[in-house]
Chain A
Amino acid sequence: MARIVGGMGTSHVPSVGVAYDRGKMQTPEWQPLYDMFLPVKEWLARIDPTIAIIVYNDHGTDLFFDKYPTFALGAADYYPQGDEGYGPRPLPPVRGDAEFSWHLSEQLVWNEFDLTVCQELAMDHGLLVPMNLCWDHRPDWPIKVVPLQINVLQHPLPTALRCWKLGQALRKAVEAYPKDERVLVIGTGGMSHQLNGERFGFMNENWDQQFLDWIEAEPERVAQMTHQELMEKGGAESVELIMWLTMRGALSPQVKRIDRGYYNPMTTGIALLTLEDAG
């Protein structure tokens, strides 16, 4: 039987991908982030996941507003890289597990989460930057991935509460899979940042730290927040943090924290949180 072996929350800031490609992760600007993920790599070696379900959002790379899914699940054995406007990055395609994805889609839809199922889906920094932080892509990604895409671009977005419930349903769907897979769930995005308007560059470290406290110990408090409240506290684009609730909803009510980190050099609070079930 498949089971969830851990949960992770992490930001997916695109400039990290650039730094990674240029070999700049150990320059003074990026060393704090690099160091933040050293214990994560040890943790991943210990829990040894075989599949990562990565809750992320597309950034106008593959999905456009002509038809915009609220929840979309990748169901392919490979996911190519999209072009974000600068040409492709030097990364191999992401390895998927179509059979596992289709199982999840069946269980989730039967459990009243009406997902869009995607047999082709191109990846962007929303999913690739967390992978860069966790794993080396050479010669190939060492883990299979299920991309779970949430609309955080075009309001109306799914509510925070809905994302939380999706995580709970995801756990049941994983545990109903007959093969022995060890599943890591990663919630991506945030933390505080705003990229549109005169408020560009807004960050709020106090709120980010509060969010990290709550998502670990009192996730229902975050699940009750509206998009308005999230945007007021963390900036318009920080509403991405609802994707962390899907990760947290997939874990047990009480969790054990493994690591926590925070770094906000430019325009985004970049955070890390790793959790394990605690009964």
Chain B
Amino acid sequence: MAQLEPNRPIDGTYVFDWRLSRKGYRLNKLAFSLSRAENRDAFKENEEAYFDRFDLSEEEKDLVRKRDFLGLIRHGTNIYMMLKLGAATGNGLYQMGAQQRGETYQEFLATRNVGSAT
């Protein structure tokens, strides 16, 4: 039985299906690589050189350069892979979430039940 209904999109949601996984493969490979300390060091040292290891398109490089987390998600970056990119660029989950919602970090925290439980 079909499990997904493409004709019933969920607002503000990018279901990580095979289409997005294909599209975001190179970005996800880069992000996944950042779970190794030596790769994080290389990325922080020279981001542009690090891009070359993954054959990124110019559009993909730009999404990383701009720390455009919503754009990265739309381009097929898996959220859990993106967390590694966040860690390497000083952006935690909640910072990336606030940006995806179009809010400042403080605005986002104010929407939570216990905004200090970070």
What residues make up the interface of A, taking CB atoms closer than 8 Å to B?
Answer: 14-15, 28-30, 59-61, 64-66, 82-87, 153-157, 159, 194-201, 226-228, 231-232, 235-237, 264-267
Contacts and interface: CB of A to CB of B under 8 A. Distances in A.
Nearest to A197: B12
B86 A85 contact: yes
A197 B100 contact: yes
Contacts of A156: 3, 17-18
Interface residues of B, number: 53
A200 B35 contact: no
A201 B93 CA distance: 11
Contacts of A86: 87
Contacts of B84: 60, 84-85
Given A154-B18, A227-B3, 19 more contacts: A14-B93, A29-B116, A60-B78, A65-B21, A65-B28, A66-B29, A85-B87, A85-B88, A156-B3, A194-B13, A198-B11, A199-B13, A201-B111, A226-B5, A228-B4, A236-B14, A236-B15, A236-B16, A265-B117
Interface of B: 1-5, 8, 10-18, 21, 25, 28-29, 31-32, 34-37, 40, 70, 73, 78-81, 83-84, 86-88, 93-94, 97-98, 100-102, 108, 111-118
Given A60-B35, A154-B21, A198-B102, A236 B10 contact: yes
Given A15-B117, A65-B28, A154-B16, A195 B79 contact: yes
5 contacts: A65-B21, A65-B25, A83-B35, A196-B73, A197-B100
A232 B37 contact: no
B51 to A, nearest CB: 18
B12 A264 contact: no
Contacts, number: 141
A65 B12 CA distance: 24
Given A82-B35, A157-B3, A236-B10, A201 B114 contact: no
Nearest to B109: A266
Given A84-B35, A198-B11, A201-B101, A60 B114 contact: no
Task: List the 5 closest A-B pairs by CB distance, nearest first.
Answer: A85-B87, A198-B12, A199-B12, A265-B114, A265-B117
